[in-house]
Amino acid sequence: MTEKIPSGTTGSSPELTSMTLESQRTDIADAPATRAVTADPQITAAKSQGQLVRERFFRHKGAIVGLSGLVFIVLLAFTSIGLSVGPLRIPGWWPHTFSTVMPLEDGGAPTLSWTGLGNHPFGQDTLGRDYFAMTMRGAQISLTIAFIVGIVGTVVGTVVGALAGYFRGFIETVLMRFTDVIITIPLLVVAAVLASIVSDYGIVVFAIFLGLLTWTGLARIVRGEFLSLREKEFVEAAKSVGASSGRIIFKHILPNTVGVIIVSATLAISGAILLETALSFLGLGVQPPDTSLGKLINENRAAMTTRPWLFFWPGIFIVAIALTVNFIGDGLRDAFDPRQTRNKQ
């Protein structure tokens, strides 16, 4: 304790002042320490499911390669020759169009080299049209068809599977027996018949009809997910408070199946590329004056031995698009997998 100065004593001596300061320091040292609470650097905030999915996806090397490749192909296809939608035309940076006929240069051989693109990097076809512009137009059409098919097939498959898995009974029987009938019919045969009927109405109608044929696999997957999730406690709790069937389906169960749906959608896009290629190769897909990657291969398959670049370039783009989409789907599957306990290196 601080020693008191005797009454009647005025002033202070150096010895008394020193004793007082030392006693005060001792009192402070003996008092309870009040330290500011600092955050432990090892303690981090909990991450949401979306953050975990993004981290897993962007750590998946194959998915990043696939995503980068697909973005590059899309940008190259849609910026090089521009975009034509009916009367609307947005010009691109490439000087030639896919329909302009020009004199053959050097026998139509490709001018692409290590020093530059040249005037016709992919060569020219037998009519003198620039094959780079034709390949880019084919990539535009094939990508457009593939994404429309993927979206339509995903929507239809999700709706059919969700209704069958949640309501069960008569609705499930009707929907799943119809799905079984569609599965038993060869897809390529049905697509060829419908393509011959609707291909003259444009690529959008053509793609929608293809999408209406490719939903069966996703419907069975979504139905299985709904059959499992409809018995969970959170669904019973929602029913107990009077939630409607629509709210339970769209607000409670469907968000828990979004991973499966997204992965299936990417695989559907990849399959649609190959389906469109097969139909166009048979002459039942995109009709003149437009073109697609499969149609380019079909038109130039006879030149495989004499002018192989006419067959080579569309084939490369078909394989590249299918592979990149598959890589993205593989990364999404791993990212949405709840059993993933660590990020892929």
Asked whether the predicted pLDDT for residue 318 surpasses 80, the reply is: yes
What mean pLDDT is predicted for residues 333-345? 61
- Report the distance separating Cα 277 and Cα 299, nearest Å: 12
Cβ neighbours for 232, distance < 8 A, ≥ 6 positions apart: none
pLDDT of residue 12 exceeding 60, the answer is no
**pLDDT for 31:** 47
Whole-number pLDDT of residue 22: 52
User: Residue range 34-41: average pLDDT?
Assistant: 44
Q: What is the mean pLDDT of residues 258-274?
A: 86
**276-286 pLDDT tens trace:** 888 887 777 78
Strand pairing category for 88-90 and 83-85: antiparallel
- pLDDT band of residue 289 (cuts 50, 70, 90) is confident
pTM of the model: 0.78
Give residue-wise pLDDT tens across range 78-136.
Answer: 999 988 776 778 888 999 888 888 988 887 888 888 878 888 999 998 888 999 999 99
Mean pLDDT, the chain, whole residue set: 81
